Amino acid sequence: MNSYNAFLEKLLLPSGDVFLKTSFMKDLRLWRRWEHLDHESVGRLCRRKLLDLLTYASISVPFYRSMIDNHQKDPEIWLQQFPVMYKSDINDHIHEMINGNREKLVCETSSGSSGIQGAVYMTRKEQYSAIATQTFLWEWSGYKLGNNILQLGMTTNRGWLKKCKDILLRTEYQQAFKINNEEACQALERFVSIPGFMGGYASGLYAYACMAEELNIKPHFISVISWGDKMFPHFREKIEEQFNTKVFDTYGATEGFIIAGQCEFGNYHILTPNVYLELLDKDGVEVAPGELGYVVVTRLDAYAMPLIRYYLGDLAIKMDTKEKCMCGKPFPMLEKIVGRDTDIVRTKSGKYLIVHFFTGIFEHIKEIEQFRVIQNNLDGIIIEYIPRIIFYNQILNNIKIQIQQYIQEPFNIDFIKVEHIPDTPSGKPQIIVSNLAKY
């Protein structure tokens, strides 16, 4: 830690906490202590915080008052009595789920990329607790508060508080999706001589890496931190190759969930002191380690509007708790984060084709600039594609053969040539659009 890092952590940021009535630095230091606990202690901490939350919600939050159970000693069993909450359920019952004056709370809205936009309310302290958790994950990449960082976000229209933060934390802020080529190039060039870090949406990082390759810009990034959308293998390969560094991916949700992040060995560790994660099958039963399940999460430090058993719409696979990572961190691990339930193609026999299956095919087909897979029923899919100048119709037949060789069952694959493929409302690209019935 250099003198400026120390100045931020020991004087400036604690003063900011006093001014804003938050506990960012206290929460960050707490995470640093939790990281050195053993696995059993972290497990006990998670269960205790879960019990505290369920007790509070069943007494103080109108929507959950029917869930009270004074005889229940095991919070993990008690949790099963709480309903799985979808975004639409929260929108319908939001007045009953908030405990306190709604006008004094911070509202976080999701992008609506799943088709439904949602809103979650939290105190400013809870908001900064999530920021502290995110900062803790960034530290796994080697980042420290005050290090130079090029950060990609949804909009460069930042309020005065965020602009002050950017200056003090030496943050160069750029647009992730609607990229201004001139400004982006200037930002990358500034890091050629100044070492620093880079962070942002995975697809935005990939776009900047491609731009840097085309213009032969070689910035000095110590590491790259990604969040917000899927870090595809070809994204990671391009970013790491062009920037000559390592990508540390993180997993969370706009609603205040900081769920997991990659350590130096590439494993995704679940931040169980603040999030209880379930992976459920279609009947709502917990799947075994190594099996694919729907991600349902409970935020353990959110009391203004408790989010208990919140269905994210993602699919993931847990690693056996007996598996330990060489990094020594005491947090359990996810084996794989597959993506949203709407990012999955299904067949009649029950096979799953995930996003990575399609990107694994199309990343080797340079004649197609962009594609999107649409599934309206189990009989087959439609693939929209934008061809490049050099294109042959045989390419489409080759793609169809590769898909059918894998699934080994009757499955219609139709291609539609288009001039434009729209992004989601958030600006993120969407590769698969599933119009099948959800979980």
Could you tell me the residue ranges of all domains in the chain? 347-434
Q: What sign does the dihedral 37-42-44-50 (CA atoms) show?
A: positive
Residue 17 to residues 13, 102, 129, 346, 392, Cα–Cα distance (Å): 6, 22, 11, 49, 60
CB atoms within 10 A of CB 350: 7
Q: Tell which residue, 329, 297, 327, 302, has the closest CA to residue 313.
A: 297
> How many residues in the chain?
439
Domain 347-434 CATH superfamily: ANL, C-terminal domain (3.30.300.30)
Strand order in the sheet with 149-153: 171-175, 149-153, 196-201, 221-227, 247-253, 257-262, 268-270, 333-340, 310-318, 292-299, 275-280
Amino acid identity, position 225: I
CA atoms within 13 A on the CB side of 258: 23
Q: What sign does the dihedral 205-210-211-212 (CA atoms) show?
A: positive
3-state SS class at 427: coil
Q: Tell which residue, 407, 413, 406, has the closest CA to residue 385.
A: 413
- pTM for this prediction: 0.82
The CA distance from 118 to 52, in Å, is 26
Query: What is the chain's pLDDT, residue by residue, as a tens digit (439 residues)?
Result: 789 999 999 999 999 999 989 999 999 999 999 999 999 999 999 999 999 999 999 999 999 987 776 656 799 999 999 999 998 899 899 999 998 788 889 888 765 444 455 789 999 999 999 999 999 999 999 999 999 999 998 777 777 888 888 899 999 998 876 677 788 899 999 999 999 999 998 888 988 998 899 889 999 999 999 998 888 888 899 999 999 999 999 999 888 899 999 999 999 999 999 999 999 998 899 999 999 899 999 999 999 999 999 998 888 999 998 889 999 999 999 998 887 766 778 888 877 787 768 877 887 888 998 899 999 999 999 999 999 888 988 999 999 999 999 888 999 999 999 998 887 655 566 788 888 865 4
Which tokens go with 184? 């982006």
What's the helix, strand, coil split of the chain in %, to 5? 35, 25, 35
Phi, psi of 149 (to 5 degrees): -145, 135
Which tokens go with 423? 């992004």
Question: CA triplet 206, 373, 117: central angle to 5 degrees?
Answer: 75
Q: Is 39 exposed, middle or buried (0-12, 13-18, 19+ CB in 10 A)?
A: middle
